Amino acid sequence: MVNALTCLLKKKVTEEKPATDEEVEVIGREMKTAIDAVFGQSLAIRELDTGSDNAAEIEINNLNNPFYDVERFGITFVASPRHADVLMVTGAVTHNMAIAARKTYDAMPSPKFVVAVGDDACDGGIFSGTYAVLGGADKIFPVDLKIPGNPPTPTQILTGLLALMRMAGKKR
Amino acid sequence: MIADKDIGIRAVQEFLGDDALPDRISSGSNNEHYVLLEEPEFEMAVSHLAANKFVLISLFCCEGFFKNAAHTLFYVFERRTSILVLVRGVNGRATSIASIYPSASWFERECRDGFGVEFEGAFDTRRLFLHETYPDGFHPLKKAFRNAPIVTKETVDPVDEYPFREVSGEGVYQVPVGPVHAGIIEPGHFRFSVIGETIFNLEVRMFYKHRGIEKLAEGKSPRDCIRIAEAVSGDESVANATAFCMAVEHISQIQVPERAWYLRTILLELERICSHLGDQAGMLVDVAFPLGANQFSVLREECFRESDRLTSSRFLREMICIGGLSRDVSRTQLDELTSFVHQMRKRYKIGLKIVLSTASVIDRFAPTGVIRHALLRPLNITGPAARASGGKVDVRLNHPYGIYDQFVPKPQRLRDGDVLSRFTIKASEIIDSLDLIERLIATIPEGDVRSDAPIRDGYTLALIESARGQNLCWVWIKDGAIERYKVRTASFGNWLAIEHAVQGNIVPDFPVINKSLNLSYAGTDL
């Protein structure tokens, strides 16, 4: 039975942080340094699914789980394109999503960056040349970086983002 | 007493008469029965099946199946262990059955978009997967259309915009949400009609992600199609690939080695655990209980990593192939999996206990988002969502495939049909799947994991229990290539459940209700 008293009196529970992944930590530290230098300490990402098979979303979501917890490195996923520095696109661009995708891109303030995540977003993948899709994300707006994979792992996505930071740093 | 599997035949005899049978009824290679019907008999037959508690689980169209009909419609019905397919040849027009079976509405609209078949008497004739930018008169699944890029409209005139159901009255207002949502989620549109904070009506609009999966498969060799089946929905990769391979194996009478079925079953159950853990973590995020959410997302990430160790893919991809598995899994890997499962069960139970003894969680979960039992049959709601509302539906039990007849999952059933029931059902299923994996590893036989046999022509239906419920595919192979690959995932039916589940709830509870149903957008939109 659960009542107010048991909630008050029971031992406070907490969870141990999972074992750290050295590779992720190294990329993360570099990421933090790069974000501090280029983006004024925080990088805001807006995720946009234009027709993925949902595996890429799951991996992007996983970047927020306690193993990666990318907020530590200055990365936040934001709810509106108006708050975003980077648009992270997954999936080939379907005809049914094209208008909404363009609106999302247009709503972002400049300067803005676009990262395509997964084979389908990079060049349309297996759907390329078919009736239902326009192709990769670069068919509707300029893409700054492509992270291939079916889908890429969270570590690969993070590595890709680091490359973007370095590119953006050089452009300044 | 009629055996369960003969219920379908018996029902046919009741409306056709005993003597009409032999030339009109044929058995498929996967225990399904096809019944060819003439137009006048058709509606009577459907009413008869509706009265006899048959569920319409799919309806799809095909071109070139019969010489004397432009379109052939297949109506797939299920009752307990019996599968009955009513086959109807039509030429561009057919009568709608949506007023008898509400679930037929989306199917009929799907056939209309794909093939241009008009359904007379249908209560909803709006387009389904072809949104407003697609040109009029375009029907991609017609054989005459060769799959190639097409030109669509860049903008939509306001008068051509999709007409949502309108609810009017004092104090009623609409909240449009999507297709691009606030979180890292797939796109879809929700149109809420709200009075104050309470949801009066919800209409979901899907198919933003329509990628043309079915057309893409046409003309491909069955082996090249597995990649397409895996792309139906990323987190159901194993389930959809296995269903597709099962269909091809039935058609070609390929005997899958026993070891391969043990391994396939392990992968199927692992996929289920991974999916359920993700739902549970998501549900806890939505009720602001990060302690529980993080515990489950840690376990889920570990599941992904274990999957990667086993198959070199976090989504268990490229393992399932026609005839078995593309590669074997070593004894060491299996031993490792056993200890993983053992650890996992222990830690999962600790997390579960914390969650279920937290009053703030229970307060949000119960009695939120109730799906009434009466809705299961008309809408074809399956999977954990149905089992949480008292449904006795599980493909592994009703139509056992592979070795599920030897490794029988525990039947799960709750009655309240709310978010809490769905959470609890998923918890029991995770534990049961962990037990199953352990038992499978303990008794797995040695031997080959693939049998290479030639692929033959033919058609059949395959059903599988994915994490979300009953997935169905119908495969027709002609001249060694895929002529038609029809997929219907559990989400296609379950999406309609959410429109009912949210009624009378408040808008802030929508996310948790949505997460508790864990619907795949990709698997619906195809």
Which percentage of chain B shows pLDDT scores above 90?
A: 77
Is residue A158 included in any domain, yes or no? yes
Is residue A4 included in any domain, yes or no? no
For the domain covering B213-322+331-525, report its CATH number: 1.10.645.10
* DSSP helix/strand/coil, B115: helix
User: CA nearest B134 in A: which residue?
Assistant: A95
For residue B469, the surrounding DSSP H or E stretch is: strand B469-478
Is residue A67 included in any domain, yes or no? yes
Crossing angle (nearest 10°) for helices A55-62 and A154-171? 80
For residue B424, the surrounding DSSP H or E stretch is: helix B419-443
Q: Is B365 on the interface with A (CB under 8 A)?
A: no
**Tell me, what's the pLDDT at B347?**
93
Q: Is A129 on the interface with B (CB under 8 A)?
A: yes
Is residue A14 included in any domain, yes or no? no
Is residue A126 included in any domain, yes or no? yes
* Residue in A6, A13, A127 closest to B216 by CB: A127
| CA A127/CA B148 separation, integer angstroms | 10
Query: Where exactly are the structural domains of chain B?
Result: 4-120, 163-205, 213-322+331-525
Q: Which fold has domain B4-120?
A: Beta Polymerase; domain 2 (3.30.460)
For an interface test with A, give the residue of B184, B312, B344 to mutate (most A CBs within 10 A): B184
The number of folded domains in chain A is 1
User: CA nearest B354 in A: which residue?
Assistant: A13
For residue B175, the surrounding DSSP H or E stretch is: strand B172-177
Is residue A122 included in any domain, yes or no? yes
Q: Which residues of A touch B278 (CB under 8 A)?
A: 58
Chain segment B286-307, per-residue pLDDT in tens: 999 998 999 999 999 999 999 9
Contact A46, A86 (CB under 8 A): yes
The answer on pLDDT for B2 being more than 60 is no
**Tell me, what's the pLDDT at B1?**
45
Q: Is A138 on the interface with B (CB under 8 A)?
A: no
Is residue A131 included in any domain, yes or no? yes
Q: Which residues of B touch A130 (CB under 8 A)?
A: 147-149, 211-212, 215-216
The answer on pLDDT for A12 being more than 70 is no
Q: Is B150 on the interface with A (CB under 8 A)?
A: yes
Please name which of B42, B43, B29 lies closest in space to residue B83, comparing C-alpha atoms: B29
The answer on pLDDT for A116 being more than 50 is yes
Chain segment B33-66, per-residue pLDDT in tens: 898 888 888 888 898 889 889 999 999 999 988 8
Q: Calculate mean pLDDT across residues B212-229.
A: 94
Q: Is A42 on the interface with B (CB under 8 A)?
A: no
Chain segment B152-203, per-residue pLDDT in tens: 988 888 888 888 888 888 889 999 998 999 889 999 999 999 998 999 999 9
- List strands edge to edge, sheet with B71-79: B25-27, B32-36, B82-90, B71-79, B55-63
**Tell me, what's the pLDDT at B43?**
86
Q: Which residues of A touch B522 (CB under 8 A)?
A: 52-54
With cut-offs at 50, 70 and 90, classify the pLDDT of residue A2. low
The answer to whether B4-120 and B213-322+331-525 have equal CATH topology is no
- Whose tokens are 């055996």? That residue is B3
Chain segment B72-122, per-residue pLDDT in tens: 999 999 988 888 999 998 999 999 999 999 999 999 999 999 999 999 998
- Please give the residue that has the higher pLDDT: either B167 or B8: B167
- Residue type for A162, please? L
Tokens of residue B20, six digits = 């009409």
Burial class (CB in 10 A: 0-12, 13-18, 19+), B435: middle
Contacts of B169-178 with CB under 8 Å at 24 or more apart are: B169/B195, B171/B195, B171/B196, B172/B200, B175/B507
Chain segment B303-347, per-residue pLDDT in tens: 999 999 999 999 999 999 999 999 999 999 999 999 999 999 999
ipTM reported for the complex, 2 dp: 0.91
Q: Is B295 on the interface with A (CB under 8 A)?
A: yes
Is residue A1 included in any domain, yes or no? no
A133 vs chain B: nearest CA distance in angstroms?
A: 6
Query: Around A91, how many Cα atoms within 13 Å sit in the side-chain half-sphere?
Result: 35
Q: Calculate mean pLDDT across residues B446-453.
A: 91
CATH of the domain at A49: 3.40.50.12280
A73 vs chain B: nearest CA distance in angstroms?
A: 18
Burial class (CB in 10 A: 0-12, 13-18, 19+), A154: buried
Please name which of B368, B376, B418 lies closest in space to residue B394, comparing C-alpha atoms: B376
Pairing of strands B55-63, B71-79: antiparallel
Q: Which residues of B touch A3 (CB under 8 A)?
A: 359
**Domain housing A101:** 23-28+41-171
